Structure 1
């Protein structure tokens, strides 16, 4: 019988795994081997190793496409092994490093446009993945922002929805996220990462800097509106299942989510984590957003109550609110509805079609 942490992880996030590229059969086989939370990362790493072995074999026989998808699955499996797993921080960090390498291998084989970006942020370095629509000379682009426990390595399929519509993507690990978060802790002013990213991209002639979008998921659904309020180059923003004030639901979050925030914010304990979480507050911020803004959530979200996302829309001058009655957190149980809606809405605002 799985313990409480394993049951919570499956109850809250199982659809997200499949939505973002974990093979369903890998998912079933892996969770069948897990009874206790301390087994979570080791067993997901075992599954990732199997995919990496297939990738290496396919590389050796010259089958780049097969290898690329196997590397992608390895990266995603390994990411979900460590995503809220704070049991052994050294093991989690090693899994994060390998997930980055495996996704880079996937990009090399599957998308010749993909580039790894390094951006100077607050005396350190932030990292991002740029992908461009094939054949496009000068594309609008959208910056994709992860949440508390997600990273740019989770976004391969999310990116594809924009690429298919002619919009380039820049998936960013900001403070507290992925490999950037190793040195930069969570902070409320996420524009500290978005602004230098846009500065670094400004000289490129293959991107249209008059048509920039911003889209964030979960805690990224706080970060994206926050950055849009203070970064005038953003032309449209979308937030998915984002909190208005993250501290409001602190006591109702799963224990591993609170622990993840404590670690990634640099807090010394739960109480300080709650204090920092409460500083992630959009009071007085949403009213500064002057561009079109879309807020999407699900009425069955058990992590961020839908009313939090609704408040974002209500306090944004040009805010639109979409609430799927059967949707869960991130509406990851209905990707066939939510993701096309978001990609279409963003594309329309950046191209003038809508």
Structure 2
């Protein structure tokens, strides 16, 4: 795949994460190969950091830093030896942005998670946003903003093999142990979960096994994975993030909700894009059908993560989980 094809393939995901489409085109049109992806996106991110340092107000500085965090993270989506540094840059930019824009935001970290708790201390509900295979807390800032606008508290996290922890941890399929640690740190008795891509599996697996989960939504989450059919780029990421080929196969074998769906006692919303067809990945319709209180939303023109269809699902999901948590 050449640079132009790769940029086209990442278009909806990158713009769905909040990158300006015109700037995205300007940056990617100058790429000679896919190997140039990471350096070009890091340069763009550093440009936003410089804008923040020269900004005329703390609001402008914070907004520039939020954009820097997005560009640093998207830099990691290409094959790039500096991906760990880019994720560290995203993490630092988000921290600096929140210090300016939301000084009451709290960093919470444990052995297998880190993230930011945002929103009012007396919020009527708390939602944990769970990223996926190669995503991170900086990719879903628009989702967090939509939940905050509805009065909820939000904990956007990185877990094993994700974001700020990608260089020091490896993925685990029994993710309910990780979210259990998060809920302990939050001091919560009940939470909502929104899981995106592989995070949808993590959220559903946790909802089946963690009684403090009151409501769950998944976006482009797999019901099951089949190693033999997965595209090579997906296999490569799994090998890298799990610690080796044998571990990647073992991880993939565990991603199967057939025996867990019926154990999800709370309300569940599963969102899929009709154009999201990845070999070896079973989408979320069986999960919604088998769960006792499942609802299925399919957006026919939506792709993976539905970055090309935000108005068709983001308000629905955020309203749904707000009502599920607050009545």
With the shorter chain as reference, the TM-score category is: over 0.9
Q: State the secondary structure of the residue aligned to 2:284.
A: helix
Unaligned segments of structure 1, at least 5 residues: 203-208
Matched, 1:214 2:193: yes
1:120-144 Cα offsets, whole Å, 9 max, x none, are xxxx3420111114xx634310000
Q: Counterpart in 2 of 1:206?
A: none
Q: Counterpart in 2 of 1:178?
A: 163
Aligned 8 A contact 1:299 1:306 in 2: no
1:112-167 Cα offsets, whole Å, 9 max, x none, are 33221112xxxx3420111114xx63431000000111101122211011111111
Q: Counterpart in 2 of 1:67?
A: 61
The structure 2 residue matched to 1:165, chosen from 116, 131, 150, is: 150
Q: Counterpart in 1 of 2:35?
A: 38
Cα RMSD of the aligned pairs, angstroms, is 1.9
Q: Counterpart in 2 of 1:7?
A: 5
Aligned 8 A contact 1:127 1:173 in 2: yes
Superposed structure 1 runs of 4+ greater than 4 Å apart: 304-307
CA distance in 2, matches of 1:348, 1:304: 35
Matched, 1:108 2:89: no
Q: State the secondary structure of the residue aligned to 1:169.
A: strand
The structure 1 residue matched to 2:70, chosen from 76, 84, 100, is: 76
Q: Counterpart in 2 of 1:198?
A: 183
Matched, 1:251 2:248: no
Aligned 8 A contact 1:247 1:275 in 2: no
The structure 1 residue matched to 2:297, chosen from 298, 319, 322, is: 322
CA distance in 2, matches of 1:114, 1:23: 26
Matched, 1:29 2:26: yes
**CA distance change for structure 1 residues 259 and 72 in 2, over 3 Å: closer, same or farther?**
same
State the Cα distance separating 1:223 from its structure 2 match: 0.5
CA distance in 1, matches of 2:173, 2:288: 19
Q: Counterpart in 2 of 1:309?
A: 284
Aligned 8 A contact 1:86 1:256 in 2: no
CA distance in 2, matches of 1:331, 1:138: 28
1:294-345 Cα offsets, whole Å, 9 max, x none, are 1001110133788521111122111111111111111211111211110011
CA distance in 2, matches of 1:87, 1:109: 30
Aligned 8 A contact 2:158 2:165 in 1: yes
Q: Counterpart in 1 of 2:16?
A: 19
CA distance in 1, matches of 2:282, 2:88: 36
State the Cα distance separating 1:5 from its structure 2 match: 6.5
Residues matched between the structures, number: 327
1:164-193 Cα offsets, whole Å, 9 max, x none, are 111110011111211223222111100111
Q: Counterpart in 1 of 2:207?
A: 228
Aligned 8 A contact 2:108 2:185 in 1: no
Between 47-56 and 106-115, the greater mean CA deviation after superposition: 106-115
State the Cα distance separating 1:9 from its structure 2 match: 5.1
Aligned 8 A contact 1:176 1:184 in 2: yes
CA distance in 1, matches of 2:257, 2:282: 14
**CA distance change for structure 1 residues 44 and 87 in 2, over 3 Å: closer, same or farther?**
closer
Aligned 8 A contact 1:148 1:219 in 2: yes
TM-score by length of 1: 0.87
State the Cα distance separating 1:260 from its structure 2 match: 1.4
Aligned 8 A contact 2:204 2:218 in 1: yes
Q: State the secondary structure of the residue aligned to 2:150.
A: coil
CA distance in 2, matches of 1:176, 1:246: 18
CA distance in 1, matches of 2:84, 2:165: 12
The structure 2 residue matched to 1:285, chosen from 260, 267, 271, is: 260
